[in-house]
Amino acid sequence: MELGPVHHVSINCADVDAAAPFYTDVLGMKQLDRPDFGFNGRWLQTPGGGEVHLIEVADWVAPKGQHWAFKVEDIDATVAELRDAGVKVKDPVPLPGTTARQTFFFDPAGNMIELNQPA
């Protein structure tokens, strides 16, 4: 079996209407057409072609430690852009034993997102 890149991640949030502008306005994703599944949600696409599907789940509380990551070419520049947009982002740190670096921040629903600059 040979798996390709991840097509999309599905992210739960208590209020899709409140979370979606963070992904489009701050992270620069494009909203895609989405079928009517009978519940609120958004399909979003990164400039690199990956997708994030926001799913509204009443009373959602993000689990501690669970996260997903974006690969970035320049983690310092990306962190600076996020901070300029008012996002609280931790300082990047090296991954032990590598030259790769990572950092974390949270979306408005409390979901943890990682930025990863590979070695």
Please write the tens of the pLDDT for every residue from 69-81.
Answer: 999 999 999 999 9
The pLDDT value recorded for residue 97 is 87
Measure the CA–CA gap between 4 and 1, rounded to whole angstroms. 10
The full set of domains in the chain, from first to last, is: 8-117 (3.10.180.10)
The pLDDT value recorded for residue 48 is 87
- CA-nearest of 67, 68, 23 to 47 is 23
Which parts of the chain sit beneath pLDDT 50?
none
